[in-house]
Amino acid sequence: VKRVFAPKDMVGRKVLISAGPTREYLDPVRFISNPSSGKMGFAVAEEALSRGAEVVIVSGPVSISAPVGATVVPVESAMQMRDAMEAHFEWSDVVVMTAAVADYRAAEQKNEKQAKVSEHFTIELVPNPDILSGLGSKKGNRVLVGFAMETHAGVERAAGKARRKNADFICLNYPTREGTAFGGDDNQVTFVFPDGTFQDLPRMSKREVAEHLLDEALKRMQWAIQ
Ligand code: CTP
Ligand code: CA
């Protein structure tokens, strides 16, 4: 049964969402990135707003427009995303990391465009900070939700991430299913908990995934507050 009216069960709740890809510049005109569309994060934002929450979206570069009523903090790099998420973390009750954060950035970002000089070109990369882990280490009563895209051993890997990053659960999805994940309007996810238990959801719109995600987050929040 499709829901007709959103329950106003998030009035006064503050939801911080990261969305989209990050860009790791090599020089002023080139960067390393990924195909994340931002749709999943924006769907969580829309759902939270319709349920009465206040919403801040820290968004990497995306081509879709943000839902009316959300505050958008635009960023490019993982380092900028980390700083913006840290800056709004204190304010938040629920944090949802849908962003596809680049794991690495160039060791050195050149100030000038690099000319083509030789047959072989090597870029030295260094790891980016893990934003979710950083927030997880000072979680308090907040509910923290991560995303993970896996090609194999999904539940096991996602549960490990939930534990390591101190997330309440990880929303696991797969890059291979038609119409889902990168760029699609639908998603098929499994909620994976730190203890390795999981809940499979059928394929549905990203907005409906958002509805289930916030239901699950809210359950944990009420439990945390009492
Ligand atoms: N994440 C993050 N900061 C990073 C990398 C990932 O906050 N530098 C967050 C993502 O936004 C996501 C969760 O961590 O919510 C899991 O991302 P994923 O890339 O699956 O985790 P990694 O620890 O980077 O593992 P992997 O080696 O499989 O990429
Ligand atoms: Ca990663």
C-beta 161 within 6 A of ligand 1: yes
Which atom from ligand 1 is nearest to the alpha carbon of 131?
7
- Determine the pLDDT at residue 181: 60
Residue 171 alpha carbon to ligand 2 centre in Å:
14
* Mean pLDDT along residues 154-170: 98
Distance 20 CA to ligand 1 centre (A): 13
Q: What is the pLDDT of residues 2-33, one digit of tens each?
A: 788 888 999 999 999 999 999 999 999 999 99
Q: Tell whether the model's pLDDT for residue 226 goes beyond 50.
A: no
* Ligand 1 atom nearest 128 alpha carbon: 8
60-94 per-position pLDDT tens digit: 999 999 999 999 999 999 999 999 999 999 999 99
Inter-CA distances, 217 with 35, 49, 129, 158, Å? 27, 15, 25, 17
With a 6 A CB cut-off, is 130 part of the ligand 1 pocket?
yes
Between CA 95 and CA 144 the distance in angstroms is 5
Is 145 close to ligand 1, i.e. is its CB under 6 Å away? no
Question: Which pTM value belongs to this model?
Answer: 0.95
Say if residues 16 and 94 touch (Cβ distance below 8 Å): yes
Active site (annotated) includes residue 141: no
Round the CA-based radius of gyration of the chain to a whole number and report it.
18
**pLDDT tens track for 169-210:** 999 998 766 666 678 899 999 999 999 999 999 999 999 999
Residue-wise pLDDT tens digits, 111-153: 999 988 888 989 999 999 999 999 999 999 999 999 999 999 9
ipTM rounded to 2 decimals: 0.99
